[in-house]
């Protein structure tokens, strides 16, 4: 049976750290599904709307070679539902979330990968705003 990997993120202002985690997530299985967080979820979580809309972010992620399927993550409370819906064998998250999803290890493997150093959407937005 091919292994399905699931990962989540906002992936706003797409950068190398995003690409690297998607490539590394894909290496854990044969099918990679990515949940891209909804605009309204970001408003709640980060108190601002993403630079790129969810449709734009979905289109960018869906076009990446390692990605097989994308969907909009509507709520942070639905992780278990998404794992089941997409039959995920592995949940991959950046280690900024380390330990936070261990509760799902009853239904899939949970893996936290180190973040790519020195790059983030927030830092990029600040850098661009300052120029």
Number of other residues whose CB lies within 10 A of the CB of residue 29: 19
Looking at the Cβ atoms of 1 and 68, the one nearer to ligand CTP is: 68
How many whole angstroms separate alpha carbon 81 and alpha carbon 97? 19
Looking at the Cβ atoms of 9 and 29, the one nearer to ligand CTP is: 9
Token pair recorded at residue 112: 């936290």
Based on the shown chain and the rule CB under 6 A, indicate whether residue 91 belongs to the binding site for ligand CTP: no
Looking at the Cβ atoms of 4 and 41, the one nearer to ligand CTP is: 41
Based on the shown chain and the rule CB under 6 A, indicate whether residue 27 belongs to the binding site for ligand CTP: no
Based on the shown chain and the rule CB under 6 A, indicate whether residue 23 belongs to the binding site for ligand CTP: no
For the CB of residue 26, give the shortest distance to ligand CTP in the complex, in Å: 13
DSSP class of 47: S
Pairing of strands 90-94, 69-73: unpaired
How many whole angstroms separate alpha carbon 118 and alpha carbon 94? 14
Based on the shown chain and the rule CB under 6 A, indicate whether residue 122 belongs to the binding site for ligand CTP: yes
Based on the shown chain and the rule CB under 6 A, indicate whether residue 120 belongs to the binding site for ligand CTP: yes
Residues 41-70 that bind ligand CTP (CB under 6 A): none
Find the largest Cα–Cα distance for the chain. Answer: 50
Instruction: Provide the sign of the torsion angle of the four alpha carbons 99, 72, 83, 23, taken in this order.
Output: negative
Query: Total residues at the site for ligand CTP (CB under 6 A)?
Result: 15
Interacting residues with ligand CTP (CB under 6 A)? 9-11, 17-18, 21, 93-94, 96, 115-116, 119-122
């Amino acid at each position: 049976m091919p292994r399905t990997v699931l990962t989540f993120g906002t992936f706003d202002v797409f950068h190398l750290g995003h690409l690297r985690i998607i490539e590394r997530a894909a290496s854990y299985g044969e099918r990679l599904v990515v949940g891209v967080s909804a605009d309204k979820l970001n408003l709640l979580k980060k108190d601002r709307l993403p630079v790129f809309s969810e449709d734009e972010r979905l289109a960018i992620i869906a076009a990446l070679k390692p990605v097989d399927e994308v969907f909009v993550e509507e709520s942070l409370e639905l992780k278990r539902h998404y794992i089941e819906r997409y039959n995920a064998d592995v949940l991959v998250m950046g280690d900024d979330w380390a330990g936070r999803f261990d509760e799902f290890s009853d239904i899939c493997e949970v893996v936290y990968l180190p973040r790519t150093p020195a790059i983030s959407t927030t830092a990029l937005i600040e850098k661009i705003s300052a120029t």
